[in-house]
Structure 1
Amino acid sequence: MTDGITPTLAELVALRALAGGRRNARLGRHGISGQSLSPLRGRGMEYAESREYIAGDDARHIDWRVTARTGRAHSKVYQAERERLSLIVADTAPSLYFGTRVRFKSVQAARAGAIAAWAAARDGDRIAALRGSDREPPVTPAGGPRGALRVLDALARWYSRPPPDDAGLTVALDHAQRLLRPGSRLVVLADPHSVAELPARRWPVLAQHHEVIVLLLTDPLELAPPAATLPFRSGGSRVELDLGDASRRQRWRAEFTRPLEAALESLPARGIRVQTLSTDAASDSWLPLLGRARPMVA
């Protein structure tokens, strides 16, 4: 049993079963290889595009339909299979260490990250993780259960309490861009307010070369506060907030819903797959986002 306040490594390990329905990795001549496609163009098994014929191209790869339509010889180009990197970026903003239903947002983030790690292991990816810190290095990429367990250990530590050196999601994504390679999968675990602080231009750059999924952690109290006086503890002191007043309750709701709604509206238009993940939701409810066709970038 867990208390819903602090994630445990055992809890995250047990989530492996929830990712069991994902694709299995294939064993090739050189070991495990995932089913993802490399951005490197080669003579693999998966069709990528057709381009004009270049002297020396294999005649067996001529695209006769395009050639007939354009009147110019075209060759088919294929994508070669390669190991993909799955990178989990963990927002560790203080606002995540809170919750009123089932578990803290931080615990839900750790659980979602663990499921992402196990799904990546099933797909034969190399798995890495990082957070917004200039002092703590990323969890370096590794494949299989060993790679997943290293990420799970980091998630359990990062989400047990707010790290004193949290530098924000901007720094985390700066580190991510240095680690990512074209064709990588990026899973971002974030508070909506952290996403709202990012400049919009960050996302199209990431989506252009990577599969990007953003999970927005929320709690029911944030989006639907009761008309009552609520006690809070902040910095060791007890604070009471009267939400019986309709205007005050409206300001509360706007504070939490505005960044969430903005992210849900803007990110898909920039090629990002995004989903809200409430503290009382199933931790694997976002898994259908994996493997969907990439949205068009506006």
Structure 2
Amino acid sequence: MSTLMQKDVLIEAVANAKAISINKHQGKHPASKRLGQLRNIIYLSSPQQIDFNEILQEINLLKETLLSLPDLSLHNELTGDMLILSKFEEAWKQMLEDNPQIKKSDNLKAFLLGGQPGAGKSFGAKQALHQLNNNIVVINGDEFRALHPEYEEIYKQHGKDASKYTGEFAGIMVHLFRERALKEKLNIVIEGTFRTTETPIRELTNFKKHGYSVDLIICTCPQEVSLDSTFERAEGHKKIGIQPRYVPPEHHDLVVDKLPQNVSEVFNTGLVDKLEIYSREGKCFDSTTNNPDEIAQRIYQILHATDSY
């Protein structure tokens, strides 16, 4: 059994180990294949179904195996954009090899996830995966951070602020993954925060232009709970020996402040086919049955409903 944030820690632990496979071009190795399987298991499972210590132990053993393998890549000979593109191509190739169930879709579907940091957006990814029988590309920018060419050096220099310096690289990888998935006509689930309306509206417009139907899944919870969860997750990273990803409280609070109105505004563009809002207690809004005029109010109530948690 695990907590919601321990599930997030495991997702990033897999990504951290998988980065070794990608950097060394060792995707064919059984250890790399098993990491791909574990990623799917973690995403598809509820925290209650996950044995945190057992899975972490296996991840660490697989990581040790990958560290002992030779480097088959040409990364050392590349710099700048060419290095980023090389990492992307290898990451994309390994993702498809690890997920043979991902196929071109005749009924293109995209899911846009939103919610403040620490709210538990991996739950939204699980919902999307189950809906499409795992035939979907999950794009989570945090999983790309460990691929940064100077990942270790950045943490040594900047410590708790390291995520500020890997964010741009992660964003580039998200862009490359999304554009390739669009080109290949694959179903997509992608995370965001809804700190602004411009980014989700741009994503929605792009999906619609490519013929996708788009569902919006918002995961939220009381602001005190999510803020505590960001610290729990970062300390969880630190405890298992990977770089802790701390979320500045001011960034968390800004998203909390903007989330209710921004989600309402984005839905009212008419670009969203369906909106679902989840608290940690379950679904609390569905645009097919509930009044869209209540969107902002529902989210606000969850963000400030500490009594029931």
TM-score interval for Structure 1 and Structure 2 normalised by the shorter chain:
0.3 to 0.5
Superposition TM-score, scaled by structure 1 size: 0.39
Greater share of helix:
2
Superposition TM-score, scaled by structure 2 size: 0.38
